[in-house]
Structure 1
Amino acid sequence: MSEKIKFEIEYVIQSSPQLLYNYISTPSGLSEWFADNVNSRGEIFIFIWDGAEESAKLLKRKSDDFVRFAWEENDDDTYFEMKIIVDEITKDVSLFISDFAEEDEVDEAKMLWNNQISDLKQVLGSK
């Protein structure tokens, strides 16, 4: 199996950090934009797309700051993280995504994030 590489993308989101955190850290928030449906049992989040389920473990989180998940099927150290960054001067809020993909799948993975973040912005009423 080839090694996955880390990639990062930053999106400016017009939202308060508190509201944004709710959308990235709770099953009800995530099911509004990240997946068709999301359930959780403790630290395990079950994401459902088109009837298929994928489980991820919540590795770390900090209120109004970030969440880090690891897909349960992955037997490596990869994870995906959504971090909220507030510019100290402009107070602009960004969502900073860290994720891993096979080298030849990075562009596709970024496109998926672009689509999902576009859905998130719609839900938030952000441009």
Structure 2
Amino acid sequence: MEGKIRYELEFPINSSPQLLYQYISTPSGLSEWFADNVNSRGEFFTFIWDDSEEKARLYSKKSGEKIKFRYMDDDNKDTQYCFEMHILVDEITKDVSLMIVDYADADDLEESKLLWENQISDLKHVIGSV
């Protein structure tokens, strides 16, 4: 994971912040849109897709607002990379959006962004925000 580029994406979500937080912070919520299956043991999460899995540690969270996972290596040690999901609420319009912060290799940046777009599309479908 050397030399990854940090990027941010923002997606409008037609949902209450409370409902959205359940889908970004719990294994059951995440397994409905983010991965095929999500297992957790305390602060340690395993995200499973078809034939691959990623391990991450719940690094920080602020109830109803944001969650941050730090990727772990094969020895279950923290790496320097993480991904974050922030729920943003416009003060005036009360519009809700989800800010994604992630890292990708330069060669994989566009593919990573597309993957997030597809996953957020699944999230919107699951919560009825389409």
Deviation of 1:70 (Å): 1.3
TM-score with structure 1 length normalisation?
0.95
Aligned to 2:27: 27
| 1:55 aligned residue | 55
In the TM superposition, residue 75 of structure 1 has moved relative to its aligned partner by 6.1
The aligned residue for residue 64 of structure 1 is 64
Mapped contact 2:39–2:47 kept (Cα < 8 A): yes
TM-score (normalizing by structure 2)? 0.93
Moved over 6 A (4+): none
Q: How many residues align?
A: 127
| Mean CA deviation greater in 35-44 or 47-56 | 47-56
Taking only the aligned residue pairs, the percentage that are identical comes to 62
**Residue aligned with 2:53, SS:** strand
Residue 58 of structure 1 deviates from its aligned partner by: 0.5
Structure 1 residue 40 corresponds to structure 2 residue 43: no
Letter in 2 for 1:48: I
| TM-superposed deviation, 1:2 | 4.3
Q: CA deviation at 1:54?
A: 1.8
Q: Which runs of 5+ in 1 are unaligned?
A: none
In structure 2, list runs of 5 or more residues that go unmatched. none
